[in-house]
Amino acid sequence: MEQFFLKLSIMLVPGLMAITCHEVSHGFVAYKFGDDTARHMGRLTLNPLKHIDIFGTLMIFIVGIGWAKPVPVNFSNLRHPKRDMIWVAAAGPITNFTLAFLSAMVLRLLVRLSGGVTDGSLAAMVFDPTLLMLAFSVYINLLLGIFNLIPLPPLDGGRVAVGLLPYRPSMALARVEPFGMIIIIALVFFTNAFNYVIAPALSFAVHTIAGPQSDLVFGVTRLMMR
């Protein structure tokens, strides 16, 4: 039980922030391009209670990746549906990559500042959990961003591909959407797609933005996933 609450204290805030900001960014960009569906439904808010999917949130603690309730977007309301759909879909991963970068920069700064902090001091009681949360924020945001770039709808990468492809292949890919999540789950859980595709991309991204703190990011993640 103590281990569970340790995980909760470290993973909950960055996990909820990652999935909430991801979804809000879709609705916000859609609103800017002419679709106010999300705004009318009260989903353009950073209040996580408006976005939480219970099962998706639990999956953060079980497998290290989760999801929120998708923000509703009526693509027919967009001023240029095929083109604007690209930006609406891309907004989610871009937001996650931005959060990961900011988290990594703050993490690097705090690690430097924490060099003079005495173990057991009040400052250490603030620094230590903050460092752990920032490290997990780097991981979870990069994982969400990379995972959502898989070019299969309903993932964001799939919708970007639908918007970029010529008409015929675009429509063929769009027809995959009802079966997309089944295919993705099968690829992730029943093949080595994660180890051969997602994991190397994730490792490269973590080392690129976290630099010398990469070991801390992966160490915290391994601890949280036990």
**The predicted structure's pLDDT at residue 2:** 65
Longest Cα pair distance anywhere in the chain, in angstroms? 64
Span 118-170, pLDDT tens digits = 666 666 677 888 999 999 999 999 999 999 999 999 999 999 999 999 989 99
pLDDT band at 217; cut points 50, 70, 90 = very high
pTM over 0.85: yes
Rounded CA-CA distance 197/205 in Å is 13
Local confidence band at 64 (pLDDT 50, 70, 90 cut-offs): low
**H-type alpha helices, 116-213:** 122-147, 156-164, 167-174, 177-190, 193, 199-210
Tokens 């693509």 — which residue? 75
Q: Counting Cβ atoms within 10 Å, is residue 72 exposed (0-12), middle (13-18) or buried (19+)?
A: middle
Q: For residues 223 and 226, what is the distance between their CA atoms, to the nearest angstrom?
A: 6
Which active-site residues does the annotation give? Answer: 23
**What type of residue is 55?**
F
Rounded mean pLDDT, 193-221: 93
What type of residue sits at position 66?
Answer: G
Bridge partners of 68, per DSSP, are 52
pLDDT at residue 65 above 80?
A: no
Domain boundaries defined on the chain: 2-149+191-225
How would you class 85 by CB atoms within 10 Å of its CB: exposed for 0-12, middle for 13-18, buried for 19 or more? buried
pLDDT of residue 140: 94
pLDDT, position 124 = 66
pLDDT at 136: 95
Phi, psi of 74 (to 5 degrees): -100, 100
End-to-end CA distance of the chain: 13
pLDDT (mean) for 208-221: 94
